[in-house]
């Protein structure tokens, strides 16, 4: 009954090799969201600084983005930096704020060539200028692309997002711009940062943690969850294919029979 809460171990996931051809024979999730967790623990296991784990994790983002695009996934949302991550040591926060710039400066030509479009969700007003400029440059240079949407959640927190949406709607109601009967799920969804994106079909979280950590709380209402003990820097293409394969075995009834 509670199979969706099971944490898959590395050995369980890789008992059989899943191929791209196999995956393409069945329905591909249109929108995949990933909580990329375990960079620090990966580094600690190797007696390396936490920043080494974040650097290694950046390489995984590139591999998974390429594979998602090859599978014709429509959107890939990556939880890159939460509103709670500001509580980490300043040296680590500063390094994390440099990662989007490093990633996009080296990967942007490939993203353009592969027809990937970059977007972000989150409160960009608090991002350092160099981070924001790198992301805005990538968004500008890929805005005409029509393939995979690579959506970075940067300084993102779902509760703050929901409160902001409620405030917008309350203000509109106060100004008589809307009536109460106009406020429904679709109207509310259009006030969220993910406006224009379908809700995720599949959520992947690495590192063995089984929680959402303030990520897409409204949007994940009917999403299939897939948890793994594998740390993000060790997450590879076969893990990604296995997650999708497992998703394809599930029956999604959305409350029906």
Catalytic residue numbers read 37, 85
Given strand 7-8, what is the order of strands in its sheet?
7-8, 224-228, 202-205, 31-35, 75-82, 149-156, 117-121
Adjacent-strand bridge partners of 75: 31, 149
Token pair recorded at residue 15: 């008992």
Token pair recorded at residue 93: 């926060």
Element housing 21 (H / E): helix 20-24
Strands (E), the chain: 7-8, 31-35, 75-82, 117-121, 149-156, 202-205, 224-228
What backbone torsions phi and psi does residue 123 show, to the nearest 5 degrees? -85, 95
Buried b (16+ CB within 10 A) or exposed e, 69-99: bebebbbbbbbbbbbebeeeeeeeeebbbbb
Cα separation, 88 vs 39, whole angstroms: 14
Report whether 116 contacts 78 (CB < 8 A): no
Cα separation, 243 vs 118, whole angstroms: 23
Token pair recorded at residue 193: 């940062």
Token pair recorded at residue 167: 């405030």
Token pair recorded at residue 162: 């929901």
Adjacent-strand bridge partners of 227: 7, 205
């Amino acid at each position: 009954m509670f199979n969706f809460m099971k944490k898959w171990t590395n050995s369980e996931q890789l008992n059989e090799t899943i191929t791209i051809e196999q995956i393409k024979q069945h329905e591909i999730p249109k929108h995949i969201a990933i909580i990329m967790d375990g960079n620090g623990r990966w580094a600690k296991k190797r007696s390396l600084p936490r920043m080494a784990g974040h650097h290694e994790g950046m390489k995984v983002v590139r591999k998974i983005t390429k594979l998602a695009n090859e599978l014709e996934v429509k959107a890939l949302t990556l939880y890159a930096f939460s509103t709670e991550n500001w509580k980490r040591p300043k040296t680590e926060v500063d390094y994390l704020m440099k990662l989007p710039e490093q990633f996009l400066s080296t990967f942007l030509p490939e993203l353009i060539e592969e027809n990937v479009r970059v977007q972000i969700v989150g409160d960009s007003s608090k991002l350092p200028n160099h981070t924001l400029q790198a992301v805005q440059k990538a968004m500008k240079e890929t805005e005409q692309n029509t393939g995979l949407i690579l959506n970075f959640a940067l300084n993102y927190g779902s509760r703050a997002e929901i409160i902001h949406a409620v405030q917008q709607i309350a203000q509109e109601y106060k100004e008589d711009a809307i009536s109460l009967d106009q406020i429904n799920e679709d109207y509310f969804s259009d006030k969220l940062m993910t406006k224009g994106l379908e809700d995720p079909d599949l959520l992947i979280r690495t590192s063995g943690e089984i929680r959402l950590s303030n990520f897409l709380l409204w949007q994940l209402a009917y999403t299939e969850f897939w948890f793994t003990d594998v740390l993000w820097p060790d997450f590879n293409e076969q893990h990604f294919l296995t997650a999708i394969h497992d998703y394809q075995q599930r029956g999604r009834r959305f409350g029906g029979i």
